[in-house]
Amino acid sequence: MWSKLVQMLQDPSYKRLGVALIVSVVLHAFLLGKLDLKLPSLKKEMHLIEARIQMPKAVVKQVKAPKQEEVVAPKPDPVESQKPATKPKKTVLQPEEPVATVEPSATVSDIAPPVEPALEPTVQPENIEPEMSLAERQQAARLLAKEQPIDAGLAINENAYQYVETYFDVSTKIDGSAEGKATITYNLGDNNHYQLNWLTQASGFAALLLPDLLQTSEGALTKTGLQPTSYLYQFGNKVDKTRTASFDWQNKKLTMQTSKATQTEDLPEGAQDLLSFMYQFMYVAPLQAMQIHIATGKKLANYDYSFEGEENINTSFGELKTIHIRHSGNDDDEKTELWLAIDYQYVPVKIRKIEKNGKVVEMVATRINTNRPTQNK
């Protein structure tokens, strides 16, 4: 029987019959509700993904403290050996607290800001004096002024030149070529009487057309500097270009005269004329008194000069360190700029005047002589 059954199973026809019977039984069971098959659902569903960002925490490691060191106090001085001996005390350095180190994985917010080291003071080399600044020079001048005897009849700078002769090239353009020559001479004579002469002369063909310009100032040297008594401005022989100023210091009156009018005004202390104020800086250094009453022969005005800085200018006898000051004034005034030589007691070595009509006259020194000629002694 088993052999027949095995033969039937091996027969393909019987195999197909068996498979058909099994499928039939399964289908009938499913239709009658006896078999419950659950197939996977193919419907798409939304899935929620939740993510959190967490900053890594700082990893702190303990650094091993340095080994304790023992420091023994130095032996007592031989001079102190006569005092009762005392046992030397041993000073033990306390171990430092563990230092926290931060791994590279720590965030910036977890790290304390570094402490900047204190800057060490700069050590200046010994026996080297830095170059004096302008403010220091002015302070030195003020200290020198306090040391002068008030009733000695001397000015602030008692070592000022007694004779200065300066030669200039003259141009009618800023930094232009020379078109003329000028000479300013300061001479301090007996009884502290000073005299200033300014002579400007055109060169070449211009000398045939332009007359000489002459300015003079005379007065006395007092404990406050130059004190003019008379001033003259003369352009050739033209009467309408001539003006004068007379200073009456006893009665405090100033008289100015032109071809058109004569006027008298109250004379303020320290007033100067257009020529004397330039050489007053030999006695009262610039920046100490930058507001100056100046008489021009036409009017008396308070001129306010401003400090433009220290400048080096090139001359035919070398480079000069100067202090540059400027008077701007009103629109109807002429503008005046001065370059005062620091190494020549603030004598003017460059002068620039811009008249109200825009005409420029610039003078640059070509030579300075401080030795009085023999014939004038």
pLDDT per position as a tens digit, 223-270 = 999 999 999 999 988 888 899 999 999 999 999 999 999 999 999 999
Q: In terms of pLDDT, which residue wins out, 108 or 159?
A: 159
Q: Is residue 144 part of a domain?
A: no
Q: Which helix (H) or strand (E) holds 315?
A: strand 306-315
Residue 89 has pLDDT above 50, yes or no: no
Confidence of residue 114 (pLDDT cuts 50, 70, 90): very low
Region 158-178 average pLDDT: 93
Q: Name which residue leads in pLDDT, 375 or 20.
A: 20
**Mean pLDDT over all residues of the chain?**
74
Q: What is the mean pLDDT of residues 20-41?
A: 62
Give the chain's domain count.
1
pLDDT at residue 345, as a whole number: 95
- Which pLDDT tens digit goes with each residue over 309-333? 999 999 999 999 999 999 866 656 6
How confident is residue 219, by pLDDT bands cut at 50, 70 and 90? Answer: very high
Chain centroid offset of residue 262 CA: 48
Question: Does the residue 41 lie in any domain?
Answer: no
- Do β-strands 318-327 and 306-315 pair in parallel, antiparallel, or remain unpaired? antiparallel
| Residue 220 located in a structural domain | yes
pLDDT for the residue numbered 31:
63
Residue 203 lies in a domain: yes
Which pLDDT score is estimated for 279? 96
Structure tokens of 138?
A: 């002015």
Q: Model confidence over 45-78: pLDDT tens digits?
A: 555 555 555 555 554 445 455 454 444 445 555 4
| Cα 72-74-79 angle, rounded to 5 deg | 150
At 265 the three-state DSSP class reads strand
Average confidence (pLDDT) over 216-221: 97
Residue 175 domain-assigned (yes or no): yes
Residue 82 lies in a domain: no
Domain presence at residue 96? no
* Structural domain containing residue 198: 168-371
Residue 280's pLDDT band (cuts 50, 70, 90): very high
In a domain, 281, yes or no: yes
Among the listed residues 300, 229, 291, the one whose alpha carbon sits nearest the alpha carbon of residue 265: 300
What is d(CA 261, CA 257) in angstroms, rounded to the nearest whole number? 6
Looking at the DSSP bridge assignments, the partners of residue 200 are: 182, 213
Give the chain's largest Cα–Cα span: 172
